[in-house]
Amino acid sequence: MSEAAGSTGLHTEDMTLNVGPQHPSTHGVLRFVVKTDGEVINEAIPDVGYLHRSIEKIGEKCTWHGYVPYTDRADYLAAMFANQGFCMAAERLGGVEVPPRGEYCRVIACELNRVASHLIAVGTFGQDIGAITPFLHALRERESINDLMEEICGARLTYNYLRIGGVGYDIKPETCARIAAFLDHFEPIVDEYNRLLSNNKIFIERLADVAVISKEDALQYNLVGPNLRASGVQWDIRRDIPYSVYPELDFEVPVGRGERGTQGDSYDRYYVRIRELLESCRILRQCLDKMPEGPAVAKVARKFKPPAGETYVRIEAPRGDMGYYVVSDGSEYPYRVRIRTGSFTAMSIIDKISPGIMVADLIALIASLDVDAPEIDR
Amino acid sequence: MEFTVQDLIQALLPGAIPAPVGYPLAAILVAFAVLSAFVAPLAGVTSWLERRVWARMQSRVGPNRVGPQGILQWLADGVKNIQKEDIIPASADRKLFLLAPYIVFAGFIGAFVVIPFGSWLIPADLNIGILYLLAITSLAVVGILMAGWSSNNKWSLLGGMRSAAQIVSYEIPAGLSVLTVIFLSGTLSMQGIIQAQGWAPQDWFIFYNPFTLVAFFMFFTSALAEGNRTPFDIPEAESELVAGYVTEYSGMRFLFFFFAEWGNLYVIGAITTTLFLGGWQIPATIFGVTMAEHPLAKGVLEFTVFFVKSYLWVLVAMWIRGTLPRVRVDQLMAMCWKYMVPIAFVCLFGTIVLLVIWPDGNPALSLATLGFTTLVLVYFMWRVVYQIMHSRPELYLKPYV
Amino acid sequence: MSEVITYFQNIKDTVSSIFEGMSITFSHFVRKPSTVQYPDRIAQQVQDTLPLRYRGILEVDMDICTGCLACERVCPINCIAIGIERNAETNQRDFTLFDIDICKCMYCGLCMEACPTGSIRHTQEFEGACNNPAGLVRHFVTENVPLYKPKKGGETETRMIQKVDIGKRYMDEIAEPES
C-alpha cells in the first residue's frame, strides 16, 4: 500500500477496493483490484479466470461435428460467430465448399446475432450508467430477434445453427418476410433509443472525454472490433480480410469521430456500436434480396476426418476479431483448438487507462469495452 | 375553524388525567395512529406504484398479483423482510449500525409534523415551519453517514461520504429557492405561506413571475438530490457501489432505509405543493355553495386537493427515475455549485427586483408565466404523440394489465 | 465569451434532452407491454406458439426407431443410452433400453439430424422442473420391443403410415443437400 503525504502534511493511504467477482456491473464473473485515493483510481488490475470452462481442451475430446455446439458456449451473446469460426476452420482443413445459399443463411444469422449482441452492449451500458429504461427497451428488441432465431434454428441463445459445410436448417421464405418486418420496426426504434439515451446530456457528460484510448494505444494493446474502430482505426475483418459473402455486400465500417468529445472516448465506443446496428440492418436487407436458391448445406461425411494440417481463421465477431487456430492430425478429433477472443485483449488496456479516472468511470470503461466474462476465459 | 390537531388533543383529554402526563401520551397515540394508518401505507403504496409506473415505461407489467392489481405488494414485501435474519457484520460498529436506520426514519417522519394537509389539519403550525423542515429532513444525512461508517465496508463508506457531500451541497440551492418564496409570503409558517397564495393557478407562487417558475424547478431538483433520487442516486448507485450505504443491511433494517426514501418522496411533493402550488387552497364558493358553511366537506376537499397535488410530484419523481441516467459525483457537485446555486441566486434577486417594482405582484406577468407553462405542456404532449407516431407501436390505453 | 455561450448551451442541452427523454418514457404509458404473464395469465400455452424447429425436450417414437445407434454415436455428451439384445424366441433384435438423460442434454439437435427415420425429435416441451434429478432421465423402453424395419414399398397400416409421415415431416425441416 503506497503512502503519501498530502499537501496538508496529513498521513494518507490508498484504499484497496475489490470490484467483483460478485458486483452488479462486471458483466459476469470478473474481478478488479482497484487502488483508490477517495473516488479517484490510482491503479486497477483486472483478475480473470473465474469463468474458465476448458472449452479449448474439450475440443480435443469431441468429434469435429460434435464440437460445434460447444463453441456456442465460448461467447453466449454471439454464439453464431463462434460457430462460424470453427466451421470455417474445419471447412478450410477438409476442403469443403459451402453452397451459396448456405453462406447467405450464415450471414443473415450472424448479422441478426450481431444486432442482438450490440443491443445487449448498449443496453447494459445504459444500465451501468444508471438508466434502466433504455436497457429494457434494448432487451425488448432483442427478444424479437430471439424469436426470429427460434424460427430459424430452434434455439434462443446457444444456437448451434451452423454445420461444417453449411447450415443446419434452411431459412424459409416466411421467416425472411418476418426478418424484413422486424427491420422495418427496428430502425425507428434505434432512432428513438438515440433520442432517449444517446443524446441525453447527462449520458454524454458521463462518457465524453472519459477513458480516452488513443489510436496508438489501441493498436499497441491489440484492441479489436468496435473498440479499435472507436479509436479511429478503420479495420474490419469483413472488409479487409473478406470471408463468406461479405465482398458481395455493400456496407460501411463506422469509426469513432469524437463527435461529443475526443476520438476514442467511451462515448465513441458506445456510438460506434449504435451505428453498427444500422449497418447490420443494411447488410441484412441486402442478404434478404440476394438470397440464391439451392441447397443450404454441402455433403459432408458423418465421420468427418480432415487431412492433417493446421489453419487460422479470423472472423469479425461483435467483440472484434475472433480467431480459431485448429490443428488436425487426420483423425476423427481435432488435435488442438485455440480460440482468440476480443474481450481478453480488451481487458489488458484497463490497467493502462484507469489511473486518474473515478470509480464510476471505471464502470463506464468496462461497459464501453463490452467485455463478456465467458469470452475472456473460455 | 381556526384550530389545529394540537388543540383537538387538548379538547378531547379527559379531565382526570393531568395535562403534563396526558398530553404526551395522547401525542404518542396519535403519532402511532398516523404512522400506521397514513405514513406506512403511503410509503408502501408508493413503492408499489413506483414499480408499476416504472414497469409500464419499460414495456413490462410490474407486480400485479398481491391484491387487486398488486396494491398489497408492499405488505407481502414487509412480511418477507421481517422474517429475514437481521445480520450484523462482526466488525461493524454495533451500536451505530443498529441505530442508523432509525435516525434516517426519524428524519423523514419528523417532517410530517409541519405538513399542512388542510386549513386545520396540521399537527403543529410552527411559526418557523419551513426552517424546521429544512433542518429535520437533513437529519437523514446523519443516519446515512452513520450507516456508511459503521458498516465497516468500503462500498458503504463511499456511499455515506457521497451522500453527505451531496445533501450538504444541495441544501444551498434548495434554501435559496425557499427564500424566494419566503420573500413573497413574508412568513416562515407553512400555513402562512399557503394563505399567501390563492386557489387559482395564476395566484400560485410558481406562476408569480418567471423567476419563481425557475426557482420551482431549482427547488424540485435539489429536493430530488436531497432525497437521493435518480439522477442523483449516487449514494446507493447500484452499478457502482453495489448498494452504497445499505450494502451490509438486511431484513427490516434494510427496508427502513427504503421506507424512508419512498416516504420522503411524498414529503418532497408536499413541500413543493405548499411552497409553490397553493397547498390546500380551494375556492371560497363552489357552484354557489359557500365552503365555510360546510366544515367537513371543506376539510375533505382541502385534503384531497393537497394530496393530489403533492402526489403528482411523487409520480413525476418516479417518471424522472425511469428516464435519466445517473450523474457522476464530481458532476453532481459541479452542477450544484456552477449551475444551480447561481441560477437560484438570480431567481432570488429577480424576484426581489420585481417585488420592488410591483409590491403586490403583477397579474399580467403571472398570467403570462402560466400561459408559457401551458404552451410548454402542449408542446410536450405533441412530442409524446410524435414519439408514438414515429415508432408505430401497438397501443394499449388501459392503465392496468 | 465562448465560455458564456457554452454555459448557456449546456443548460439548454440538458433541459431539451431531458424533455425529449421524458416524452419518450411518457409515451410508453399508452404502449402495449411486451411481456407475457407466464405461466398462468396467457391466452395460449407457450408450447403451442413455438415453431416446429424449436429444440425442446427430446422424445423418441419407438415404433419407427430402427436401432441404428446413429444418435447415440453422434451425441457430444453421451446422454443417450441404447441397449439392444437378440430375442431367443422370435429370433429378432429387441430394444431393452432407450434412455435419454435430460439433465445432460444440451439441445444441440445433432441426434435428430442423424436419425434416418425422424423417430428421435425435439418437442415443443420445455418445462422440465422436478424435485428429483432421476425423474429427468426419460425411459422410452418399458418392455422389450422389436426394432422397426421399413417395409419395402411403403407402410400399409394406417397407424404406421401416420407415424412415418410425422417423422418425414420433421426431417424436412432440416436442411439437407439435394443429392
C6 touches B: beta carbon within 8 Å: no
For residue B6, pLDDT beyond 70: no
**Is there a domain that residue B401 lies in?**
no
What sign for the dihedral angle of Cα B342, B346, B349, B351? negative
Which residues in chain C have Cβ-Cβ distances shorter than 8 Å to A99? Answer: 177
Across chain B, what does the average pLDDT equal?
84
What percent of chain C shows pLDDT beyond 90?
0
Of A17, A133, A361, the CB nearest to B154: A17
Pairs of CB atoms within 8 A across A/B: 89
* Most B CBs within 10 Å, among C22, C37, C38, to test the B interface: C22
Output the DSSP codes for B154-210.
Answer: HHHHHHHHHHHHHHHHHHHHHHHHHHHHHHHH----HHHHHHTS-SSGGGSGGGSSH
Judge whether A286 and A234 are in contact, CB under 8 Å. Answer: no
**Is there a domain that residue B284 lies in?**
yes
Q: Which residues are CB-contacts of C42 (< 8 A; sequence separation ≥ 6)?
A: C36
For residue A24, pLDDT beyond 80: no
**Is there a domain that residue B12 lies in?**
no
Minimum mean pLDDT among A102-116, A322-336, B122-136, B203-217: which range?
B122-136
| Reported confidence tier of residue A119, pLDDT bands at 50, 70, 90 | very high
Minimum mean pLDDT among B44-48, B93-97, C98-102, C133-137: which range?
C133-137
| Reported confidence tier of residue A3, pLDDT bands at 50, 70, 90 | very low
Which residues in chain C have Cβ-Cβ distances shorter than 8 Å to B399? Answer: 29
C8 touches B: beta carbon within 8 Å: no
> Given an 8 Å threshold on Cβ–Cβ distance, is B324 in contact with A24?
no
Q: Which residues are CB-contacts of A351 (< 8 A; sequence separation ≥ 6)?
A: A43, A44, A45, A46
Query: Can you tell me the distance from the alpha carbon of B55 to that of A110, in angstroms, rounded to the nearest whole number?
Result: 31
**Is there a domain that residue B99 lies in?**
yes
A182, three cell numbers: 422486424
Instruction: Tell me what the mean pLDDT of segment C142-155 comes to.
Output: 76
Amino acid identity, position B373 = T
> Given an 8 Å threshold on Cβ–Cβ distance, is C18 in contact with B60?
no
Query: Can you tell me the distance from the alpha carbon of A31 to that of A47, in angstroms, rounded to the nearest whole number?
Result: 5
Which residues in chain A have Cβ-Cβ distances shorter than 8 Å to B60? Answer: 136
| Reported confidence tier of residue C179, pLDDT bands at 50, 70, 90 | very low
Query: Can you tell me the distance from the alpha carbon of B274 to that of B269, in angstroms, rounded to the nearest whole number?
Result: 9
**Is there a domain that residue B179 lies in?**
yes
Q: Taking the CB of residue C72, how many other CB atoms lie within 10 A of it?
A: 17
The total of structural domains in chain B comes to 1
Judge whether B179 and B345 are in contact, CB under 8 Å. Answer: no
A288, three cell numbers: 434478404
> Given an 8 Å threshold on Cβ–Cβ distance, is C20 in contact with B383?
yes
For residue B378, pLDDT beyond 90: yes
**Which option is the CATH number for C48-172: 3.90.1200.10, 3.30.70.3270, 1.10.287.130, 3.40.50.150?**
3.30.70.3270
Of A132, A197, A205, the CB nearest to B331: A205
* Most C CBs within 10 Å, among B224, B332, B387, to test the C interface: B387
* Most B CBs within 10 Å, among A205, A270, A357, A368, to test the B interface: A205
In what helix (H) or strand (E) does residue C15 lie, and over which residues does it extend? helix C2-27
> Given an 8 Å threshold on Cβ–Cβ distance, is A23 in contact with B242?
yes
Judge whether A307 and A328 are in contact, CB under 8 Å. Answer: yes
Shortest CA gap C51–chain B (Å): 23
* Most A CBs within 10 Å, among B158, B166, B328, to test the A interface: B328
| Reported confidence tier of residue B16, pLDDT bands at 50, 70, 90 | low
Give me the pLDDT at residue B9, please: 63
**Subunits adjacent to chain C (3 or more Cβ pairs under 8 Å):** A, B
pLDDT digits (tens, 9 = 90+) for B185-229: 888 888 888 888 888 888 888 888 888 889 999 999 988 888 888
Query: Can you tell me the distance from the alpha carbon of A49 to that of B380, in angstroms, rounded to the nearest whole number?
Result: 50
List, in order of start, the domains of chain A with CATH numbers.
47-377 (1.10.645.10)
Give me the pLDDT at residue B232, please: 83
Minimum mean pLDDT among A240-244, A324-328, B27-31, B201-205: which range?
B27-31
Judge whether C74 and C111 are in contact, CB under 8 Å. Answer: yes
**Subunits adjacent to chain B (3 or more Cβ pairs under 8 Å):** A, C
Of B319, B386, B395, the CB nearest to C30: B395
For residue B230, pLDDT beyond 80: no
pLDDT digits (tens, 9 = 90+) for A149-177: 988 888 888 888 888 888 888 888 888 89
Instruction: Tell me what the mean pLDDT of segment B329-351 comes to.
Output: 89
**Is there a domain that residue B253 lies in?**
yes
Classify residue B247 by its DSSP letter: T
Give me the pLDDT at residue C124, please: 86
Instruction: Tell me what the mean pLDDT of segment B149-159 comes to.
Output: 86
Q: Taking the CB of residue C65, how many other CB atoms lie within 10 A of it?
A: 24
pLDDT digits (tens, 9 = 90+) for A52-108: 888 888 888 888 888 888 888 888 888 888 888 899 999 988 888 888 888 898 999
Classify residue A315 by its DSSP letter: E
ipTM value, please give it: 0.82
> Given an 8 Å threshold on Cβ–Cβ distance, is B319 in contact with C26?
yes
> Given an 8 Å threshold on Cβ–Cβ distance, is B230 in contact with A130?
yes
Domain ranges of chain C: 48-172
Start-to-end Cα distance in chain A:
33
**Is there a domain that residue B153 lies in?**
yes
Q: Which candidate, A21, A29, A75, A32, places its Cα nearest to that of A363?
A: A32
Give me the pLDDT at residue A118, please: 92
Shortest CA gap A195–chain B (Å): 10
The B-side interface with A (CB below 8 A) comprises 54, 57-60, 154-155, 158, 162, 230-231, 233-234, 237-242, 322-331, 387, 390-392
Judge whether B247 and B144 are in contact, CB under 8 Å. Answer: no
For residue B24, pLDDT beyond 60: yes
- What are the phi and psi torsion angles at B245 (to 5°)? -70, -15
Q: Which candidate, C48, C44, C38, places its Cα nearest to that of C125?
A: C48
